Amino acid sequence: MSVILVFLLVIAGFAGWWLSHQRLTAKPWLEQGLAGDFVGLERSALPTAKIGLGVFLAVVGCLFSLFTSAYFMRMGLPDWRPLPLPRLLWLNTGVLVLSSVALQCAVIAARRGQTDMVRLGLATAGLTALAFLIGQLIAWRQLTDDGYLLDSNPANSFFYLITAMHGLHILGGLVGLGRTSIGARTGARPQRLRLGIELCAMYWHFLLFVWLGIFAVLAGWAATFVSICQRLLT
Sequence-ordered list of residues with C-beta below 8 angstroms from that of 130, at least 6 positions apart, any chain: 174
Phi-psi label, residue 187: left if phi above 0, alpha if psi -120 to 50, beta otherwise: left
* Cβ distance to another protein smaller for residue 123 or 161: 161
- Whether 203 and 176 have beta carbons less than 8 Å apart is answered as yes
* Cβ distance to another protein smaller for residue 61 or 135: 61
Q: Where are the alpha helices (DSSP H) in 113-189?
A: 115-145, 154-186
Minimum CB separation from another protein for residue 62, in Å? 5
Q: Which residues bind another protein (CB under 8 A)?
A: 1, 4-5, 8, 11-12, 15, 19, 22-34, 38, 41-44, 47-49, 51-52, 55-56, 58-59, 62-63, 66-67, 70, 73-74, 77-80, 150-151, 154, 157, 161, 165
Minimum CB separation from another protein for residue 173, in Å? 16
* Cβ distance to another protein smaller for residue 5 or 229: 5
Minimum CB separation from another protein for residue 28, in Å? 4
* Cβ distance to another protein smaller for residue 76 or 187: 76
The count of other CB atoms within 10 Å of the CB of residue 207 is: 24
- Whether 41 and 23 have beta carbons less than 8 Å apart is answered as yes
In 3D, which of 218, 186, 208 has the Cα closest to residue 85? 218
Minimum CB separation from another protein for residue 90, in Å? 26
